[in-house]
Amino acid sequence: MSKIAVVQMNTTMDREQNLDTAFTYTEKAAAENADLVAFPENFLLLGDKEHYLEAAELVPGPLVECFQNKARELGISILMGSIYERIPHNPMKAYNTSVLINKSGEITGTYRKIHLFDIDLKNVKILESDVIESGKEIAIFDHDIGKTGLSICYDLRFPVLYQRLASMGALVIFVPAAFTVPTGKAHWLNLLRCRAIENQVYIAAPAQYGKHSKTRESFGSTVIIDPWGDVVSILETGEGIIYGNLDPAFQQKIKSRMPVETHKISGIDY
């Protein structure tokens, strides 16, 4: 059984302050004997997209190395929910990239967000593809806490991604996010519970909360959900940190009670 810490932040365009906040939460999680601490999408810079490209860095690179050193120093794994990853062959765009680091400070894996959030309505306009390049590969890794699947925010609306991660043996799937307020109110928790229930996995969703700029506001409701769909812990508003345990035996119990995987029909491409 592993203990995870999941962080809710109100990230702004002040990267140094955001970095200090992230390190403070990392130290707090380590003091609570968490095995891993997970941060939201764009946890070091969020607000005005015209500055995203200039903040993009290589992975691995100096920024990631800071978190590798912190993981090694404190003996805690870190999920850098997502940062802007520089693309050497395309300086006009960056990847939206999660970086998973183990307690020894080694990069266990990376994931580049596949599904990009583009919406242009009367009251809200977010065109992620203006500055972000879509990733092409799903990501699941063997990790100290168990087999770990990665996704980011808008990926949540594409259940086949989670089905693939579950079929590859995921114990937990992380969903670092910056959901908008209207879609968050309507769908965030419902979608997260669905992904947990239908795939019989733990879902851990570190979220952004509050206003990041004049035009950007996030819903919050950072949450951990178990494979039965029950909420283990939730932080609806404000900045903070929640904790929960990942229990492989409990996951297996759920799969035995509701053996969905064995009921799939051969010859059908799920």
Which residues are known to be catalytic? 41, 113, 153
CB atoms within 10 A of CB 81: 33
Let me know: does 249 contact 2? Beta carbons within 8 Å. no
Retrieve residue 16's tokens. 């140094």
Spatial neighbors of 191 by CB under 8 A, at least 6 apart, are: 156, 157
Output DSSP code: residue 261: G
Let me know: does 67 contact 107? Beta carbons within 8 Å. no
The reply to whether omega before 159 is within 30° of 0 (cis) is no
What is the Cα 11 distance to its own chain's centre?
15
Output DSSP code: residue 237: S
SS3 category, 182: helix
Let me know: does 111 contact 139? Beta carbons within 8 Å. yes
What is the C-alpha to C-alpha distance for residues 226 and 245, in angstroms, rounded to an integer? 9
Spatial neighbors of 38 by CB under 8 A, at least 6 apart, are: 4, 5, 6, 7, 78, 79, 81, 174, 176, 204, 206
Q: Which H or E run includes 251? A: helix 248-257
